[in-house]
Amino acid sequence: MASTAPKKLVELFYDVVSPYSWFAFEVLCRYKNVWMIDLHLKPVFLGGIMKITGNKPPCENKVIHSRKDVYRMSEYLKVDFKLPSDPSTTMFRKGSLKAMRFVTAVDMIDSSFTENVSRILWSRIHRNDEDITEVASFQLVGKQAGIEPEMLNKAISTITDATIKKRLTDYTEEALEKGAFGAPTIVAHVNGKQEMVFGCDRFPILANILGEKWVGPVPEIPQTKL
């Protein structure tokens, strides 16, 4: 018999410029039906979080280590990943503000597309070394995600609207209020309390908070019995 207990809410505050956000996103999506969680995807602007918290880009030695670490993490968490050919330009100079506004616009119009659109944007920047800043890129992403032309045009045309900017700002401020200093920031709601977990390497801890079991990066998804 299926459980009638309410699902535990887990929020993921993320930015597609962050590969570690991608890793956390994929693992949480895999575990949605294993841990039976209600996963809320909340797009934020990482640049804003880092500026407000004073979290500066890493120094040279940390950059060298980070390049090794990100590949180790992608291999362990089974996410097909490749750094952009010019990470500094792609991730810091071009950034992700337009992309996150596009994700926000899609999310506000029809949130059923948020997961797929986010995944495709991550694949573009962190696998295929492709643009995530131009309108033409958003058109390709939307089409690949299966968004109907009318809805896609609406999402793209409203990227600079005040309502879209406000939603992205609101989610970014909410993340900060919950303790975020970077991305990914995961917030679990359990027994009336909020527990913040940072990064993509704390899943055993998150499982413990949720009262669930961590069985590795790729769990066996239980089959529904008729």
8 A C-beta contact, residue 40 and residue 47: no
**Structure tokens that stand for 102 in this block:** 């596009």
Query: Which 3 state secondary structure label does DSSP give 147?
Result: coil
Helices 46-53 and 162-177, packing angle to 10 deg: 50
What residue spans of 80-202 are helical by DSSP H? Answer: 87, 97-109, 114-126, 135-145, 149-157, 162-177
**Structure tokens that stand for 20 in this block:** 């570690």
Give pLDDT, residue 67.
Answer: 83
Residues contacting 122, CB < 8 A, separation 6+: 16, 19, 21, 22, 25
8 A C-beta contact, residue 77 and residue 202: no
Query: Which 3 state secondary structure label does DSSP give 10?
Result: strand
pLDDT, tens digit, for every residue of 37-86? Answer: 999 999 999 999 999 999 876 544 444 547 889 999 999 999 999 999 99
Give pLDDT, residue 109.
Answer: 98
Residue 33 half-sphere exposure toward CB, CA atoms < 13 A: 8
Give pLDDT, residue 224.
Answer: 52
Mean confidence (pLDDT) of the chain: 93
Residue recorded with tokens 């407000």: 52
Torsion of CA 90, 94, 95, 96, to 10 degrees: -110
Name the burial class of residue 112, with classes exposed (0-12), middle (13-18) and buried (19+) by CB atoms within 10 angstroms of its CB: exposed
With 90 as the cut, is the pLDDT of residue 183 above it? yes
Compute the distance between CA of residue 205 and CA of residue 155 in angstroms, rounded to an integer. 37
Task: Please give the model's pTM, rounded to 2 decimal places.
Answer: 0.93
Q: Any idea which fold 8-210 has? A: Glutaredoxin (3.40.30)
